[in-house]
């Protein structure tokens, strides 16, 4: 069952934690690919200096200021795409970065796109890897996550335990870098970086 807009219209920390275990689905002309979210990070701009919206509303960050339940997709280090869920309420630029997935559907298509073995943890164990595997690009910027192309699904899978730690690669953000706003499924092999907790 597809996640409804009410799920996204809540606190960024609540959504970041509760999206662990949900299924991210992308339907393209090539086929459907999907994976269970095993790692996420919360960004609570504009006060959060690790958030893109800390610099205010720009052409790049406009989607984050819109209604919840849309995609904020951006270039990561100018190379790969990264996928975020826009959450909270319109005008509050809060987003949840999807950092890692455990593949669940369309594994052969993911492996082809990533040029990796189907069983490789490298398929989706990072924000740029998962977008390549699911073919999420800048064309998905602002896409409605309550539509039929890119969305979250509920899952019957029971997450064993959720860990928290500081976010990854945001040392430039001063005291904000220490915020324990990264969530991950403990013990999942697809988590991108060993937890610091």
User: Could you tell me if residue 22 is inside a domain?
Assistant: yes
User: Could you tell me if residue 40 is inside a domain?
Assistant: yes
User: Could you tell me if residue 190 is inside a domain?
Assistant: no
User: Could you tell me if residue 195 is inside a domain?
Assistant: no
> What is the domain count for the chain?
1
The runs of H, that is alpha helices, within 53-138 are 107-114, 127-134
User: Could you tell me if residue 197 is inside a domain?
Assistant: no
| pLDDT digits (tens), the chain, 197 positions | 999 999 999 999 999 999 999 999 999 999 999 999 999 999 998 998 778 888 878 788 899 999 999 999 999 887 899 999 999 999 999 999 999 999 999 999 999 999 999 999 999 999 999 999 999 999 999 999 999 999 999 999 999 899 999 999 888 888 888 899 999 999 999 999 876 55
User: Could you tell me if residue 192 is inside a domain?
Assistant: no
> What is the pLDDT, as a whole number, of residue 195?
67
Q: What Rg value do the Cα atoms of the chain yield, rounded?
A: 15
User: Please, which residues have CB within 8 angstroms of residue 17's CB and are 6 or more apart in sequence?
Assistant: 40, 162, 183
Residue 124 CB burial class (10 angstroms; 0-12, 13-18, ≥19):
buried
> What is the pLDDT, as a whole number, of residue 54?
84
Residue 17 is part of which domain span?
A: 5-185
User: Could you tell me if residue 122 is inside a domain?
Assistant: yes
> What is the pLDDT, as a whole number, of residue 50?
79
> What is the pLDDT, as a whole number, of residue 196?
57
The rounded distance, in Å, linking the Cα atoms of 110 and 120 is 11
Count CB-CB contacts under 10 A for residue 47.
9
> What is the pLDDT, as a whole number, of residue 7?
98
CATH number, position 77: 3.10.300.10
User: Could you tell me if residue 20 is inside a domain?
Assistant: yes
């Amino acid at each position: 069952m597809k996640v409804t807009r009410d799920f996204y219209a809540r606190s960024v920390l609540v959504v970041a934690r509760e999206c662990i275990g949900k299924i991210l689905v992308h339907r393209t002309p090539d086929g459907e690919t999907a994976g269970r979210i095993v790692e996420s990070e919360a960004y609570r701009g504009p006060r959060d200096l690790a958030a893109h919206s800390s610099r205010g509303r720009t052409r790049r960050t406009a989607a984050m200021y819109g209604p919840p339940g849309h995609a904020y997709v951006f270039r990561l280090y100018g190379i790969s795409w990264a996928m975020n869920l826009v959450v909270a309420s319109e005008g509050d630029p809060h987003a949840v970065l999807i950092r890692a997935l455990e593949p669940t559907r369309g594994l052969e298509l993911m492996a082809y796109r990533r040029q990796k073995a189907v069983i490789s943890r490298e398929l989706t164990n990072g924000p740029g890897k998962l977008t390549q595997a699911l073919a999420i690009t800048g064309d998905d910027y602002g896409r409605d996550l309550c539509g039929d192309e890119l969305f979250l699904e509920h899952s019957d899978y029971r997450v064993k335990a959720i860990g928290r730690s500081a976010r990854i690669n945001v040392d430039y953000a001063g005291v904000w870098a220490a915020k324990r706003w990264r969530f991950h499924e403990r013990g999942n092999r697809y988590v991108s970086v060993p937890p610091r907790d």
